Structure 1
Amino acid sequence: MSDTLAWNTYARTRPERRATNAAGQSTWFNWTQYPDHGPGAELLNPSPGRTALDLGCGKGGNIAHLATLGAPSTGVDISPTQIDAARARWGGANPGLAFLRADAHAFLRNTEKQWDAIYSVYGVLWFTDPAVSLPLVHERLAPGGTLAFSHRPPTPGCYGCQASYIPRGEDEDPHVVRRWDYTPEAWRDLLTDAGYSAVTTEVIPAPPGRRKVGTLLVTARKAA
């Protein structure tokens, strides 16, 4: 993924997850950029013993929720700041939950483990080249396993590798990282070409009364 300094800077700008959501739950799953909106963990079919891997886990809220459902869960992030925050809040909550500081591609290449669900929420699957990421994830999915990821829909006409900016101080230029923007149809083709099946893509509209930018949500499976 992109350099550690940029993602550490990003981590310092991100607010902590609320103590509870609108339903009063202390852990929950959120695919979109809006609170209490959109589908939840059910897209990953979580159940006791069904393993899960979060690529670009940030401060760990989503993967911590899966662990409470009995899924042995691993969160990976390149930023030490993110991992330290995740461990501080969630690390002692569940023995089936682990946080690892690692580059996602290096991690996937260097492990022989497979997971029942691998996912990314505004994370690795957006900020790495899918020509590299999709085959690596496919190899690390268990047969019948689920891949899911979400990110902001592309700006019309701006597809493929794009520049994304992480602000620093007032007198400093922003960090520049890369992201890969594709239409739902293009993601479907990319995943199919990489060997995935049962590919679904949708843009979840923003909540009423909010900004109009929705969330692109993609799911796929590895053949059993």
Structure 2
Amino acid sequence: MTDTAVAWDTYARQRPERRRTNARGETTWFNWTQYEDHGPGAELLELPGGGRVLDLGCGKGGNAAHLAALGMRAVGVDVSPRQLAAARERWGQMSGLELLRAEAIRFLQEDLDGFDAVYSVYGVAWFTDPALLLPAIRERLRPGGRFVFSQRPPVEGCYGCQASYIPRGSDEDPLVVKRWDYQPEVWKQLLHRYGYTDVRAQVLAAPPGPRTVGTLIVQAGT
């Protein structure tokens, strides 16, 4: 497999910057899906006022910045220096936001303060073995905490560990990383196995338009 940091640095070069404002004129907002101005927001995390929240695979930091703007103590973790550089350039002066370069499992093992919520938006929860990640997150969630993640729904018949390709130049082979694809019911079974409660998993339909792939959103509590 490709070195993880190299893969996500390459991915970062291909991704556009988050818009300066959304359709409602807001300068920060939370988005679970691959579509602009679509789907639920930060309410899925059920955070208490001033709660501590972890973004696993924070990328360029927009979602974590929104939570900090709401008064949360937001920690964003990513392995990509390029992603974090972009996040710090735009959001680095925001109070309540901490952006760290770290590998997810190691960070969860070393940060002992705990979190009121942990989330992943097309991030670590999609690209880490759930047998390692789910118990590590559960160990760090405070009582009543929430774990929520979103990713693309699986292609029918293509379940479990899959190869995910990140394109490079026309004369270069793509980079390859692993991802984990499961149906909603299987995610529910896995989360229950590792001690989560109040588990919900559903595919949110795409908004009207030419694209039809929805978004899998999984929620679980402690």
Q: Same fold (TM over 0.5)?
A: yes
- The aligned length equals 221
Give the equivalent residue in structure 2 for 1:136: 136
Are the aligned partners of 1:50 and 1:116 in contact in 2 as well (CA < 8 Å)? yes
Q: For residues 9 and 56 of structure 1, what CA distance do their matches in structure 2 show?
A: 15
Q: For residues 202 and 54 of structure 1, what CA distance do their matches in structure 2 show?
A: 21
Report how far residue 111 of structure 1 moved: 1.6
Give the equivalent residue in structure 1 for 2:197: 197
Give the equivalent residue in structure 2 for 1:77: 78
Q: For residues 46 and 31 of structure 1, what CA distance do their matches in structure 2 show?
A: 16
Q: For residues 46 and 68 of structure 1, what CA distance do their matches in structure 2 show?
A: 13
Cα displacement string for residues 128-169 of structure 1 (whole angstroms, at most 9, x for unaligned residues)? 000000000000111110000000000001000000000111
TM-score, normalization: structure 1? 0.97
Bigger shift: 3-12 or 184-193? 3-12
Report how far residue 3 of structure 1 moved: 1.5
Counterpart of 2:188 in structure 1: which amino acid? R
Q: For residues 53 and 103 of structure 1, what CA distance do their matches in structure 2 show?
A: 13
Structure 2 residue runs of 5 or longer lacking an equivalent are none
Report how far residue 49 of structure 1 moved: 1.4
Report how far residue 2 of structure 1 moved: 5.7
Where 1:180 maps in the other structure, the secondary structure is: strand
Cα displacement string for residues 79-132 of structure 1 (whole angstroms, at most 9, x for unaligned residues)? 0101111011001022x1100001111111112120001000000000000000
Counterpart of 1:184 in structure 2: which amino acid? P
Are the aligned partners of 1:46 and 1:66 in contact in 2 as well (CA < 8 Å)? no
Alignment of 1:116-195 (within 5 A): 116-195=116-195
Cα displacement string for residues 40-86 of structure 1 (whole angstroms, at most 9, x for unaligned residues)? 00101234311110000000000100001111110000001011110
Q: For residues 210 and 18 of structure 1, what CA distance do their matches in structure 2 show?
A: 22
Alignment of 1:1-224 (within 5 A): 3-94=4-95, 96-222=96-222
Where 2:157 maps in the other structure, the secondary structure is: coil
Report how far residue 170 of structure 1 moved: 0.9
Cα displacement string for residues 164-214 of structure 1 (whole angstroms, at most 9, x for unaligned residues)? 000111110000000000000000000000000000011000001131100
Counterpart of 1:84 in structure 2: which amino acid? A
Identity of aligned residues (%): 63
TM-score, normalization: structure 2? 0.98
Counterpart of 2:8 in structure 1: which amino acid? W
Are the aligned partners of 1:47 and 1:69 in contact in 2 as well (CA < 8 Å)? no
Structure 1 residue runs of 5 or longer lacking an equivalent are none
